[in-house]
Amino acid sequence: MSGKCDYDHLRHIDNTLDSTDRLRDFIQIYSSANIKGLHYVHFDGKENVIQIYTPSHKLHYYSTCFLLKQKYTDTPINTVLRQGHQLRRFMDFLEFWNIDLLEVDTFTVVVSFVSYLRLLKSERATPNRAIQWSLLNQVPLHERAKNFGKVSTIRLNFEGIMVQDRFEDFSHNTICGFVETACKYLGFLKKETHDFADIDLSSIPVKQRAFTTTLTGTTGRKTKVIVTDVHAILREASFSNPNASGNLIQPLSEEVMTEEDVKKFISLIPSGDIQTILLFYILMSFGLRRAEARNLMFVSNNVPNDLYLWDINKAQDWLKTELHGDISYDNTIKAWVCDVVKREVTNFQSQNKTVRRRLIPNLFSQHDLTNVLLEHIKERQLVMKEAAQEHDYLFYSTSNNSKGEAITGGTIYSKYRSVISGSEKENFYLNFSPHSFRHFFATHLIRIKHKPIYDVSRWLGHKDEKTTRTIYLHYLPDQDDLPADDKLGDMATTFKNGGKV
């Protein structure tokens, strides 16, 4: 493999904001690198034995053990064979980038694996070509990838209309299958092997899936299992389903947390983990998307060097008058306000959908937000100094290998899972995700605070009011003009013409 193909280089490309530039950078690497063959699958039809071999014709022990486990847990042999061909692609990817699974962010790995799959030729190595496949000296990219930015393939669809051909050789659903198998394999390594027991999989998003068996169908109870949220990974890779209609907005069908559920979740966070408390308090208070929360910034060089020594009242006064940035205190309405803007960031996993600037007032406890924000600013000041880091992002990494850097990737997923792991409410909170705080924000403002749907739509950053009405159809009151139950009044007037922060 090419000497420069390592995890640091992968992460650098993976952090490219523009998805087109990111793919183009990957293409340049994959098309110019000299490789020493690819992994291949050997299938003995008589014995029903499936094995994965390295390019040097050595048995790949752990991936083969994974396939054997699938076989001996009554997975159909054809399914195991398909998983073998999916898994060998993941083995190629790991070897190409010289990835040590114990030393990397596994979320970054699986997200960049999606980009790799989008560029690959869908040709399959049949058994009689397996050895030839293992001797390839270039990554087999499809023609559209090789000519990316040069040639645009046009074809007639079934209605006779000229459309641009799909970029990928593999379909969206096929790539979902690849990623699901790769994540199952990572879980197998962590649970079933000693060498990889310390793999950190906490940043990979999961969800709880309910299914019915013969027994549960009789009792009326569904069995719930924890599975990887593959679609969340593909979304992070900026790869949406090309067959899905972008204009098809569906009503929210999932369960929504109550205020009690949110407070209980925050109470599960250790009292000393100020940053995590603030992070989820902000998600709750302003209904932000994860990327929008990651992108929050403030003027850090304005913070007094000895703020952590100040009297609490003096420090709070400074915070309300001198803290400048995306979160600041507005004395006109006596409330904290979040200013969400479209920001050019270097990490594509931190990009967000924000198009128009929006100003969101905190309609929850001003006192609680003041206290936790102040404690976070003081703690951040000390950590950044210790880590010799300088940037204006509000949230920073606490990992040893990236301490002080701006959080990226699956950090918020990881924090969410860390909070609920081992708690008595773990099974309940596995039905939710960090995005659920956004749904709580919207439904609470509509159902409890009786805020006009126009304001809620604007604060959420939806394209129009119709989108909000459609999504939260079941939570709308009979009238939108019910009296507000707090003193903030009509924020549309307060923030007229861009407002003031």
- Per residue in 324-367, pLDDT (tens digit) is 999 999 999 999 999 998 765 444 444 454 556 899 999 999 99
Say which range, 232-236, 307-311, 333-337, has the weakest mean pLDDT: 232-236
DSSP letter (8 states) at residue 99: -
Residue 273, Cβ neighbours under 10 Å: how many? 15
Note whether 296 and 441 are same-domain residues.
yes
Single-letter amino acid code for the residue at 322: E
* pLDDT tens figures, 107-164: 999 999 999 999 999 876 666 677 777 888 899 998 888 887 665 555 555 555 555 5
Residue 383 within any structural domain of the chain:
yes
The position carrying tokens 């006009």 is 452
Structure token digits, residue 326? 């995306």
Does one domain contain both 306 and 228? no
- Assess whether 214 and 307 both reside in one domain: no
**pLDDT tens per residue across span 358-402:** 999 999 999 999 999 999 999 999 999 999 999 999 999 988 878
Expressed as residue numbers, the domain containing 219 is: 7-153+161-236
Burial 355-369 (b: 16+ CB within 10 A, else e): eeebbbbbbbebeeb
Q: Looking at residue 309, what DSSP letter applies?
A: G
Amino acid 128: pLDDT: 64
Nearest to 393 by CA among 325, 320, 336: 325
Same domain, 188 and 91: yes
Residues 293 and 204 in one domain: no
Answer whether residue 290 is part of any domain.
Answer: yes
